[in-house]
């Protein structure tokens, strides 16, 4: 089993030492918000995921809806 190598920086570990700490931290915050599931406005379950920029889809009921770029509009 491979070691976890990005304990401190999380998803921004793919950049390595490039771009500076502040930009990598800012990217990590935005990317984690975009990747986490949100509440579906239709069925109310916490299964809505980002499909592409501002497009969200519920994995439970299949509803597609528009929101903000990195999080649904109501969040």
Q: Which domain holds residue 32?
A: 10-66
**What is the chain's pLDDT, residue by residue, as a tens digit (75 residues)?**
666 677 888 889 999 999 999 999 999 999 999 999 999 999 999 999 999 999 999 999 999 999 999 999 865
The answer to whether the predicted template modeling score (pTM) of the entire model surpasses 0.85 is no
In a domain, 39, yes or no: yes
- Number of compact structural domains in the chain: 1
Instruction: Look at residue 71 and tell me if it is in a domain.
Output: no
Sheet architecture: strand order including 48-52: 48-52, 55-58, 64-66
Q: Is residue 27 part of a domain?
A: yes
- 75 domain-assigned: no
Residue of 71, 73, 74, 46 lying closest to 58 (CA atoms): 46
3-state helix, strand, coil in the chain (%, to 5): 30, 15, 55
Asked if residue 41 lies in contact with residue 65, where contact means CB atoms within 8 angstroms, the answer is: yes
Residue 16 falls inside a structural domain? yes
Closest CA to 54 of 39, 37, 40, 71: 71
Determine the pLDDT at residue 6.
76
pLDDT at 75: 52
Supply the CATH number for residue 49's domain: 2.20.25.30
């Amino acid at each position: 089993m491979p070691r976890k190598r990005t304990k401190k920086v999380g998803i921004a570990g793919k950049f390595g030492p490039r771009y500076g700490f502040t930009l990598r931290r800012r990217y990590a915050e935005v990317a984690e918000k975009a990747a986490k599931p949100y509440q579906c406005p239709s069925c109310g379950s916490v299964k809505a995921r980002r499909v592409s920029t501002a497009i969200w889809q519920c994995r439970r009921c299949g509803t597609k809806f528009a929101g903000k770029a990195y999080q649904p509009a109501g969040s």
